[in-house]
Amino acid sequence: MDIGQGACIVVDCPNPDAAVLVDCGTDRPSRRILAERVGEWVNGKLSTKPFRSLVISHAHTDHYRMLSGGVVKPQLFDQAFLGGAREHYDDPRPASPKHWLNDFLMKVGGRQDPVTAYPAETFIANDTRFRCAPATIDVLTASVVQATGATDFESRENANSVVLRVSYGGRSIVLPGDAESITQASALANAKANGLFLAQPTVVVASHHGSLTHGSNDKVWRDAWNAPIVAFSAEVDHVHGHPTCTRLSDYQEHATPTATPFTLDCGVGKNTHKTLEVRSRLLETYDNGHLLIRFSPTGVMVLCQIQTPACDGVLAPDQLPRQLANNAVRKRR
């Protein structure tokens, strides 16, 4: 979802019974759509499924603020999984977003303990608790900063991100939250130790919104996946300027070439960005708006709100939050 500076991903399982929401937060709203309209769409999508799971990759507001703000309904979820320690998601100050988030988590599910914080260096191949079959959801790692001997980075929460891989029909998408080098290394090591083959996924969502921070999206990570399609969820106009132009250039070396070159916006420093000519299947919520990535046994299709040569088609009005169906959007350069 194009929610601005943040991440919000709905996994619509291939059976009619289950869906998974992976993060939903923003530190700078989208230029195109109110958060309330995104929440309305998410609530409507999830309400069609009898069983709903929530994963919050880590305790940063650009991954949960739309939950703590009451935009997404807690009663929709049967269970929730958290990256980082449970106490990272609470704050005694009544006005704190984490205090509101804790209220949200207390309302999840109808059983006694519906919220689970992953232990350090978690690995779970085919976590059937999501009930997403015939798709497979692998938890490649989580909460690595809590492991013995791990470095306490400037941002503990980023490095504690849950890294998921969702696979169906011989294709997969990697959802790494704000993983940093220690997180990425743990995910790759866990997969190797447990015999999980990772090469050639269909789509990788860039970690940390396409950042360079503490080794996010480093060469070892990029080479391990060699992904033909890479998506970036970020608002370039935000102070951090994600995704960075460096990481756009890095990832396009792996992504499938497009028939024609086109431009994407990217950051070159705080509060500064430019356009970069690219020639491969790179997608940005900043330039493409909302994205639909559909896997089937016969292939993968990427539909975008705003089409570029990296997209296979344009989203229909009924596939967008309702405010967008009649709104003009920024023209492509």
Q: What is the pLDDT of residues 271-290, one digit of tens each?
A: 788 999 999 999 999 999 99
Residue 285 DSSP SS3: helix
User: Which class in CATH covers the domain with range 6-322?
Assistant: alpha beta
State the average pLDDT over residues 135-152. Answer: 89
| pTM for the whole structure | 0.94
Does residue 263 carry a pLDDT above 90? yes
Please check the confidence at residue 114 and state whether its pLDDT lies above 90. Answer: yes
The pLDDT assigned to 200 comes to 73
Q: What is the pLDDT of residues 173-217, one digit of tens each?
A: 999 999 999 999 999 999 999 999 887 789 999 999 999 989 999
Contact of 194 with 123, CB cutoff 8 Å: yes
Residue 41 has pLDDT above 50, yes or no: yes
pLDDT over threshold 80, residue 62:
yes
Higher pLDDT, 237 or 7: 7
What pLDDT is attached to residue 330?
44
pLDDT tens digits, 147-165: 877 776 546 789 999 999 9
Residue 328 pLDDT: 41
C-alpha pair distances (Å), 235 with each of 3, 51, 211, 220, 290: 8, 31, 12, 26, 12
The bridge status of strand 115-117 relative to strand 79-82 is parallel
- Map residue 100 onto helix, strand or coil: helix
Average confidence score pLDDT of the chain:
91
